[in-house]
Structure 1
Amino acid sequence: MTASRVIVVGAGNAALCAALAARERGSEVLVLERADQDRRGGNTAFTAGAMRVAYAGVDDLRRLMPDLTDEEVANTDFGSYTAEDFLDDLARVTEYRTDPDLAGILVEQSYPTLSWMKDKGVRFMPIYGRQAFKVDGKFKFWGGLTVEVNGGGPGLVDYLSKAAERDGIKIEYGARVVSLIHGDEGVTGVKVTQNGQTREEHADAVILASGGFQANTEWRTRYLGPSWDLAKVRGTMFNTGDGHRMALGIGASPTGNWSGCHAVGWERNAPEFGDLAVGDGFQKHSYPFGILVNAEGKRFVDEGADFRNYTYAKYGRRILEQPNQFAWQIFDQKTTNLLRDEYKIRQVTKVTAPTLEALAEKLEGVDPAGFLAEVAAYNAAVDTSVEFNPNIKDGRSTRGLAVNKTNWANTLDEGPFEAYQVTCGITFTFGGLRINTDAQVLDTDMNPIPGLYAAGELVGGIFYFNYPGGSGLTNGAVFGRIAGYHAADNALAS
């Protein structure tokens, strides 16, 4: 019997997990990647490699991370992060709009999928540098995020690409899929442009894993709204919505938060698209330990509303809404030691000053008088009777302000002061294609389109308004694996 053939569009985390799963089921697999080999990997290559996973305790983590030493275990409180915790976080931050069936699969399959990835050669490690602070001689993880890929996003792309090579999966670079071959029998292949030539590639199933539309300026403005043309793109320049366009063009059902996206505080002077040499170093995520001010010198968000993991993906939008689309993050010496590594890169817009008055004159674009008045009001409102603790939501708050800070509120009074200028960096869009629990793409009559599957950023219905940090890569891996299995199995059965 001739082996079935599966085509995967894209070569990031979701795509390669789909390819590996389809190959595992016996299909011949062709991966078509729009980027050249040096820029492969989609948005995955620009991530830090964090993956949110449900686990019962340290024994589960040791199975995922066999390199974890006894000393590390003894000096660390890894806690637990149950499926219920994960599902509660996902529901809460999406304001209970997440599709319950897809969310349930994402959560329940998170640990089995990471275990499968480990068996494929992916190496995981604890996120000590970003998700744990040492208190009383012991590290404590917070925010439900414990696991990352060794080597970050680029490491994940390398691990999965090598696994694909070992399994005999063919990856073609510079191959842009421009349309689906579709008829009464469903999707039977793609048209692809490569080296100036257009050809047809036929297959029993096609899996779309080509990312969101965040790098398409016109679509950002059309769907996300005014000013989104001014946002920086954190990742690849190649995620322009090709998968969305092709599928919608044959009657696929759109779903999810098409006016929503994952967007963060991002270096003000970063380039238009992501820079692989810098990766996610342009992000600035230690804001819970300082304050953010806009051009008027005013605070505009509750920097301590929750752990960074649960607010950073929505605060980029808030920064974009400010005058001239920027903000400054302000810290004093009580918390500068807590700043993440990304604050130390060379490509950073930073000013320092010994006094607040001197700092006010250095904050480009900010009204100095407004800033000084805001900091004075903020300092007077801090409840210093509550002990500061960065590992928990400590309840150290302000009182009586128009925008109170709920946790980690410290007075800004110990110079020298540091300030970092940020704008909005868009990571990926939330609107996408409607799939069922087998990752089949549904048409507008809610019927599966034969031969068409989807995974990753271009799937809608899972994230709304916000997302729990690290769940994007897990989502791509979980549904990529499901898409690969079902694409291969259904092709073999037909």
Structure 2
Amino acid sequence: MSNKYDCICIGSGNAGCSAALSAIHNGCNRVLILEKSPTSWAGGNGYFTAGGYRTTHTGLSDLLPIVTNVQPNSEQANKIDMDPYTREDFIGDIMRLSGERSDERLVGAMVDGSRDAIQWLKDKVNVPFIFSFHRQAYEVDGRQKFWGGMVLSVEDGGKGLIEAHHRALKEAGVEIWFDSPAVELLFKDGVITGVVTQKDGQHLKLETPAVVLAAGGFEADPAMRMKYLGQEWGNAKVRGTPYNTGDGFTLASPLNPKVTSNWSAAGCHSTCWDYHTSSSSGSRSHTNTYTKSGYPLGLMINSTGQRFVDEGEDYRNYTYAKFGREILRQPGGYVFQVYDGKVLGMLRKEEYGDGVVRKIYADSVEELAAKLVEEGLEEAKVPTFIGTVNTYNQAVATHRQENPHLKWDPAIKDDMSTQSSQHSLQPPKSNWALPLDEKPFMAVKVTCGITFTFGGLAIDPETAGVLSEVGKSIEGLFCTGEMVGGLFHGNYPGGSGLTAGTVFGRKAGKAAAQLRKQ
């Protein structure tokens, strides 16, 4: 068998698969994916996601033909409220959450390609899209009301997405070599000529004019996390694959690529994560169920009995990627999510169901605080914990007295807060503030789960070609997925990561095919 390929993609996740399939669809004959993990860990971090895709759309009628769980013109469809999500909305969300630090050209290219990417995944990859009722909608007055801009996910989440990708790869004739890490990029006069991989214990040279880096960030390497993100990040739990250890950046380094910013400034995607989990990797069976994203319905209280974030600052999918970082900064690196009987039925069963997470119940706040001492609440801070809840409840009551016209609504930013002329709680709860006063009370212990690192290689927004330090494209080298820098800083709108991986993966595959035709 010849060792010559039209395109070689490094990484078997959503981004690498998108690039490989795009290369085939655009005219490449021989495409190879190199994956350092064994087959049992196929799919990179994409496997561990909820499968959420954020895209522009014009409303319900635009997306109904794409999904499998709602029929057009059905009674179910007639009970759905879904606002359009425009280009301006999507770009505005990314720029707002990044503090205007994201590269606007890169953001614009991703957003402009989002709707076509969804259609391509549906038509060419047969991805089973669904409306994300279980994550992105609440039933209000008998209607399903979507919130937070993102409405699509994949049936069976990341598992379903990766399964669809790998079926499509097999049908397209793309080769995948597992247990085969790329160890060196070959180039001449700054132009890519091939890859060296380690296969069956031997180094093997492969010829190709096009390499797509889709190897993920360095979130699974504790030493790199501490070096680039800060010492406390050595304690973060890895949410996904243990194989994302920064290899792609090491491979690219001899070509002197442009790095968009230092990683400590860009930060990472982190989230509220089940405390009672492995530190080194996610679970292939539980995947995203270890996420604990119900906090807008309750409070988060640290081991000293104090709140530390505004749980109602924004919709969940605009805050979860940064709240993990705030949890890590708390004493011990863990906190308690606290809920009362009014909202327990609204918490996602996938995340809070029996057998999914350890739950501590009590018939009063005082009893709950006493039980949490065994879980890590400082015994001397039990009165502080109780006082935090009581003060919060008083602030909620005062706000309600002054604003009787407001109605609690989890599907909108309802302004039901803790701030009034008599109380100015710090930190506030800006929306969805309900008193914690109805038994049973429940708490779960959460920590920080790191998903992927922001920051990385600079790319051409139109081709996904990796740029050199002087801003010129490195011929034959492309990048997509978590290795792309300049897109996210500090925070991001949920569902954008998979979308970006597909958008720039398609661009990389198309550009790689153009090299073959030259």
TM range (shorter): over 0.9
Aligned to 2:84: 80
Is residue 4–residue 488 contact of structure 1 (8 Å, CA) maintained in 2?
A: no
- Name the residue aligned to 1:98: 102
Aligned residue in 2 for 1:313: 321
Conserved 8 A contact 1:257-1:460: no
What residue identity is the alignment partner of 1:321? R
2:390 partner SS:
helix
How do 1:74-153 residues align onto structure 2 when only pairs under 5 Å count? Answer: 74-120=78-124, 121-153=126-158
2:270 aligned with 1:263: yes
For residue 433 of structure 2, the aligned residue among 378, 388, 409 is 409
Residue of structure 1 equivalent to 2:54: 52
Is the contact made by 2:190 and 2:255 (CA closer than 8 Å) also made in structure 1? no
Cross-structure match for 1:473: 498
- Within the candidate set 378, 386, 389, 1:375 is matched to 389
Paired AA for residue 409 in structure 1: A
Unaligned segments of structure 2, at least 5 residues: none
CA contact (8 A) 1:75 1:139 kept: yes
- 1:185 deviates by 4.7
Counterpart of 2:65? 63
In 2, the alpha carbon distance for the partners of 1:345 and 1:67 equals 26
2:516 alignment partner in structure 1: 491
In structure 2, C-alpha distance between the alignment counterparts of 1:313 and 1:192, rounded to whole Å = 34
Secondary structure of the corresponding residue to residue 104 of structure 1:
helix
In the comparison of the two structures, how many residue pairs are matched?
492
User: What letter corresponds to residue 112 of structure 2 in structure 1?
Assistant: E
- 1:256, 1:462 within 8 Å by CA — same for their partners in 2? no
- 1:349 shift after superposition: 2.9
CA contact (8 A) 1:4 1:491 kept: no
Tell me how far apart the structure 2 counterparts of residues 72 and 223 of structure 1 sit (CA, whole Å): 48
Distance, in Å, in 1 between the alignment partners of 2:190 and 2:146 is: 51
Q: How does 1:398-437 map to 2 (within 5 A)?
A: 398-399=418-419, 400-437=424-461
Residue identity matched to 1:469 = G
Residues 205-244 of structure 1 aligned to structure 2 (within 5 Å)? 205-244=210-249
Deviation at 1:194, TM superposition (A): 2.0
Amino acid at match of 2:440: P
Q: 1:295 aligns with which of 300, 303, 307?
A: 303
**Residue pair 1:256, 1:464 contacting (<8 A) in 2 also:** no
1:67 positional shift: 5.4
Q: Secondary structure at the match of 1:227?
A: helix
SS of 1:134's equivalent?
strand
Per-residue CA deviation, residues 31-71 of structure 1 (Å, 9 max, x unaligned), is: 11111111100000000101001000122102322653122
Q: Which amino acid aligns with 1:262?
A: H
Deviates more, 1:302-311 or 1:18-27: 18-27
2:433 alignment partner, SS class: coil
Flag the 1:410–1:67 CA change in 2: closer, same or farther, 3 A.
closer
Structure 1 letter corresponding to 2:108 = G
2-structure distance, mates of 1:43, 1:320: 21
Name the aligned partner's letter for residue 10 of structure 2: V
The AA in structure 1 aligned to 2:324 is G
1:396-453 Cα shifts (integer Å, max 9, x gaps): 0002112111001111111110001000000000021110121000111111111100
Equivalent residues of 1:289, 1:331 under 8 A apart:
yes
**Where does the alignment leave 5 or more consecutive residues of structure 1 unmatched?**
none
Aligned residue for 1:350?
A: 359
SS in structure 2 of the partner of residue 38 of structure 1? helix
Pairwise CA distance, 1:491: 2.9
Match of 1:285 in 2: 293
Structure 1 letter corresponding to 2:481: G
C-alpha contact 1:208 1:454 (8 A) present in aligned 2: yes
1:25 aligns with 2:26: yes
Query: 1:57 & 1:480 partners in 2: Cα distance?
Result: 26
1:175 and 1:345 mapped to 2: Cα distance?
40
> Contact 2:455–2:487 (CA<8 Å) still a contact in 1?
no
Q: Distance in 2 between matches of 1:388 and 1:98?
A: 34
Given residue 474 of structure 1, which amino acid in structure 2 is its aligned partner?
Answer: T
Checking the alignment, whether the CA contact within 8 Å between 1:232 and 1:424 is kept in structure 2 is yes
Task: Give the CA deviation at 1:250.
Answer: 2.2
Structure 2 Cα separation of the partners of residues 256 and 51 of structure 1: 26
Give the alignment's Cα RMSD to 1 decimal.
Answer: 1.4
Deviations along 1:227-254, whole A, 9 cap, x unmatched?
Answer: 1000000000000010011112321111
Mapped to 1, the partners of 2:386 and 2:483 lie a distance apart of 44
For residues 252 and 358 of structure 2, the distance between their equivalents in structure 1, rounded to whole angstroms, comes to: 41
Q: Which amino acid aligns with 1:234?
A: R
Q: Structure 1's 327 and 172: CA in aligned 2 closer, same or farther, altered over 3 A?
A: same
Query: Which stretch has the larger CA shift, 302-311 or 192-201?
Result: 192-201
Q: Which residue number in structure 2 is paired with residue 182 of structure 1?
A: 187
Partners of 2:8 and 2:210 within 8 A in 1: yes
SS in 2 for 1:189: strand
Distance 2:409 2:385 in 1: 26
1:365 to 364, 367, 376: 376
One-letter code aligned to 1:117:
L
Paired residue type of 1:219: M
Whole-angstrom CA distance in 2 between matches of 1:448 and 1:220? 28
2:354 and 2:203 mapped to 1: Cα distance?
A: 42
TM-score scaled by length of structure 2: 0.93
Counterpart amino acid of residue 398 in structure 1: T
Question: Which 4+ runs in 1 deviate beyond 3 A?
Answer: none
Q: What is the rounded CA distance, in whole Å, between the counterparts of 2:134 and 2:261 in structure 1? A: 33
SS in 2 for 1:431: coil
Q: 1:79 Cα shift? A: 2.0
Further displaced range: 337-346 or 61-70: 61-70
Q: Which residue of 1 aligns with 2:338?
A: 330
